[in-house]
Structure formats: structure tokens, C-alpha cells
């Protein structure tokens, strides 16, 4: 029976730990120390490591873990990261050593140029591309690329559980309220997620279905979101990419 644990790292990162019996898999281990602590406390073996993109807060701990556990590591084909031995391309499927689930690779450039998502078994590991009620900054990509990448994730089954890389949810919800103050789904999500934070729990995972009705970056085609973006820009905007670009710039300065 697969269980998924959030291991906090740095200020607001999550390292996702997949555990089945005595075997464990680490997703985006920016730091090896909290992973080692987690494994030691539960007497687990690290069977593999997965990475979504090359940023140090996602792969910084990967070389040390691979050395210590002599386990295979999986990550993006189009990015350079130390100690990656399986380089995954769009559409590639593989069985995750240790937990046995099959994941498929989706190319989602935008936050970084070679960013990938891994999905299967009703799960999505999307790093810093889709966040709960938000999306990643465009460090290496264009708004058009990010709209395309988010669109691929938005088309996954609504019940897919979204495991992203950071606990940014409450700040993202505050921004989403500025964009769509009348969104009732957003208001009820805020109550639910505030309660989780008050109990000291992660707000994650969310679901694709929840993101579709509350995440402004997936809602650039909605008239309310487009109108809010145009008001903020002070000019007419044409098309989803222009709306997305304005919302992304608005969030950067929020």
C-alpha cells in the first residue's frame, strides 16, 4: 500500500516521500539531510530518486542520496543535474523502483526550459510549474510555453492529486482573490486550506479538479479572469496567452 509523506525542507519546500513497505522513493530532494532523517526514523531503504527540474532546491540532495543508497535516479532529459542516470523524455513511461507504480513523463517547459512532470496512479508530481492555486515563475520560458504546459496538466483526470514543490498556497489564494473576488469555490478553498495550516498540516496535495475552479493561472480563458487582467493592464488583451502574461506579471508584483 503506497503512502505519500511531505518532508519539509528549507523555508517552504516539500520533498515528497513515496513509501511502500520498507521501500521509499524521494521526489525533488533539495537537501539529503531531511530525507536521511525520515528514512532512519522509519527504518526504510531508499530505492530511487525522482527529479522534476534542475533547481538546487529540488536536486541539491540528489548526488549524496545516490552515492549513499546506490539507487537509480530519474530526471529531465533536457536539463543538466549531477548524478541523474535515467534521463526522461516526453511520453516516456517507467516503473518506479521500490514502489512499483508506473509513471509517465510530460514536458512542461516554462519555469525552467526542460522541466518535466511525472504522472500515473492518480498522482502528479509537477515541481514548480503548477502550484496549489498558483504557478511557477517564468525563469527560462515564455508565457506561451507556460500556458501550453499548464494546459497539459489541466487535461489530466480531475481527481488527479497534485504534489507540487512548495507550500505557497495561502499567498496564492490571497492573489487569486484579487483576481476573482466573486469566486465561491475559491472562498471555500481558503477556509479549508486555512484550517489545514492552523493544524500545522500541508495544504497539499490538491486535485486538478480543485485547481480548475480556483487557480487563476488555469482560468485565463474565463471571462472574469480576462476582465480582471485587462483592468489591471489598463488595456484590452487578446487571447489566453496575453491574459496569462498579465496575471503572471501582476502576481510577481503582488
The residues assigned a catalytic role are 53, 55, 57-58, 111, 128, 166
Rg (CA), the chain: 18
Placement of cell 511502500 in the chain: 20
Near Zn ion by CB under 5 A: residue from 128, 167, 193, 211? 128
C-beta of 119 vs 129, nearer to Zn ion: 129
CB 209 → Zn ion: shortest distance, Å? 25
Q: Confirm or reject binding of residue 79 to Zn ion (CB under 5 A).
A: no
Peptide bond into 205 cis (omega under 30): yes
Placement of cell 515541481 in the chain: 127
Piece in contact with Zn ion (CB under 5 A), picked from 16-24, 43-51, 123-131, 213-221: 123-131
CB 78 → Zn ion: shortest distance, Å? 15
Instruction: Outline where DSSP puts E strands in 115-219.
Output: 116-120, 123-127, 130-131, 134-135, 161-164, 206-207
Give residues 37-56 in contact with Zn ion (rule: CB under 5 A).
Answer: 55
Rounded Cα distance, 185 and 188, in Å:
5
Coil, helix or strand for 174?
Answer: helix
Piece in contact with Zn ion (CB under 5 A), picked from 128-136, 155-163, 170-178, 232-240: 128-136
C-beta of 55 vs 189, nearer to Zn ion: 55
Give residues 131-160 in contact with Zn ion (rule: CB under 5 A).
Answer: none
Residue 209 neighbours by CB under 8 Å, 6+ apart: 158, 159
Piece in contact with Zn ion (CB under 5 A), picked from 29-37, 125-133, 141-149, 172-180: 125-133
CB 227 → Zn ion: shortest distance, Å? 31
Residue 201 neighbours by CB under 8 Å, 6+ apart: none
Number of residues that bind Zn ion (CB under 5 A): 2
CB 225 → Zn ion: shortest distance, Å? 24
CB 75 → Zn ion: shortest distance, Å? 13
C-beta of 10 vs 250, nearer to Zn ion: 10
Residue 177 neighbours by CB under 8 Å, 6+ apart: 183, 186, 187, 190
Coil, helix or strand for 114?
Answer: coil
Give residues in contact with Zn ion (CB under 5 A): 55, 128
Amino acid at each position: 500500500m503506497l503512502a505519500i509523506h511531505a518532508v519539509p525542507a528549507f523555508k517552504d519546500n516539500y520533498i515528497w516521500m513515496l513509501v511502500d513497505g520498507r521501500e521509499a522513493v524521494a521526489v525533488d530532494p533539495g537537501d539529503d539531510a531531511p530525507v536521511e532523517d525520515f528514512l532512519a526514523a522509519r527504518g526504510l531503504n531508499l530505492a530511487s530518486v525522482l527529479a522534476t527540474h534542475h533547481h538546487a532546491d529540488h536536486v541539491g540532495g540528489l548526488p549524496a542520496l545516490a552515492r549513499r543508497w546506490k539507487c537509480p535516479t530519474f530526471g529531465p532529459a533536457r536539463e543538466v543535474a549531477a548524478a541523474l542516470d535515467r534521463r526522461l523524455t516526453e511520453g516516456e513511461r517507467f516503473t518506479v523502483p521500490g514502489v512499483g507504480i508506473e509513471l509517465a513523463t510530460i514536458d512542461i517547459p516554462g519555469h525552467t526550459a526542460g522541466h518535466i512532470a511525472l504522472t500515473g496512479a492518480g498522482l502528479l508530481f509537477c515541481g514548480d510549474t503548477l502550484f496549489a492555486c498558483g504557478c511557477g515563475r517564468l525563469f527560462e520560458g515564455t508565457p506561451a510555453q507556460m500556458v501550453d504546459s499548464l494546459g497539459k496538466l489541466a487535461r489530466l483526470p480531475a481527481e488527479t492529486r497534485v504534489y507540487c514543490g512548495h507550500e505557497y498556497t495561502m499567498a496564492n489564494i490571497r492573489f487569486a482573490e484579487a483576481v476573482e473576488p466573486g469566486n465561491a469555490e475559491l472562498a471555500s478553498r481558503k477556509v479549508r486550506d486555512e484550517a489545514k495550516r492552523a493544524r500545522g498540516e500541508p495544504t497539499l496535495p490538491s486535485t486538478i479538479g480543485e485547481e480548475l475552479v480556483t487557480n487563476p493561472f488555469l482560468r485565463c480563458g474565463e471571462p472574469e479572469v480576462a476582465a480582471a487582467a485587462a483592468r489591471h493592464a489598463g488595456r484590452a488583451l487578446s487571447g489566453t496567452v496575453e491574459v496569462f502574461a498579465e496575471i503572471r506579471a501582476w502576481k510577481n508584483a503582488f
